[in-house]
Amino acid sequence: MRLQGKVAIVTGAGSGIGQGIAERLGCEGAKVIVDYVGRAGGARQTERVIEQVGGAGEIVQAGITRVGDVRALVDEAWTEAWTRFGSAGKLKLNALLEKIPLGRLGKPEDVASLVTFLATGDAAYVTGSTFVVDGGLMRNYREQRGDHGRTY
C-alpha cells in the first residue's frame, strides 16, 4: 500500500480515466475523494470498488469549470480528510481523456499507472517534468512536428 495515509481528489472519477485513477489510488491505500459531474451511478461504482479492496472513498459532485464548485470540492475534501480519514493529504489529481494511436483507445490503467507512480515516494526526485501518456502520438504525429506529411 504505497499511498497509505494520503488523500486524493480525483476529478471525473465517475467514468473513464478518472474512474481508473481513483480505483487504482484506492487500491494503493489512498483515501479517495471521488468527484463527478452528472449522474452519480459511476461515482458510486468507483466508491464500491475502492471499498471492496479495503480502501475508503467519499463521493462529491462538483464541476471543475465552476469556481464555486471547485471551492466546495476542496472544502469537502478537506473536511472529509480530517473528519473521516484522520488527515489531509496534498494529492490533487485531474482526470483527462485522450485517444491513443496504437490501434486502440487509451485505457484508464494506461494513465492510472503513471499517476500512481507519481503519487508515491518512488517519484520523490521527479520535479518539473512533463509525462506524455499518448502511445507515441507526439513523436509520430507529423502535424505536430511541422513537416505536414512530407517525406525526406
Domain boundaries, given as residue ranges, for the chain: 7-145
Q: Contact at 8 Å (CB) between 77 and 6? A: no
What is the predicted pLDDT for the residue at 46? 95
CATH architecture of 7-145: 3-Layer(aba) Sandwich (3.40)
Separation CA 46–CA 34 (nearest Å): 7
pLDDT at res. 92? 46
Q: Can you tell me the distance from the alpha carbon of 44 to that of 24, in angstroms, rounded to the nearest whole number?
A: 15
Q: Report mean pLDDT in 10-residue bins for the chain, 152 residues.
A: 84 91 92 89 95 89 80 75 58 48 69 88 88 72 50 44
Q: How many whole angstroms separate alpha carbon 85 and alpha carbon 87? A: 6
66-69: long-range pairs with CB below 8 Å, 24+:
none
Among candidates 37, 28, 30, which has minimal Cα distance to 9? 30
Q: Could you tell me where the beta strands, DSSP code E, fall in 1-150? A: 7-10, 31-36, 57-61, 91-93
d(CA 16, CA 46): 11
pLDDT of res. 135: 75
What are the cell numbers at 47? Answer: 466508491
The predicted structure's pLDDT at residue 65: 77
DSSP annotation of 107: P
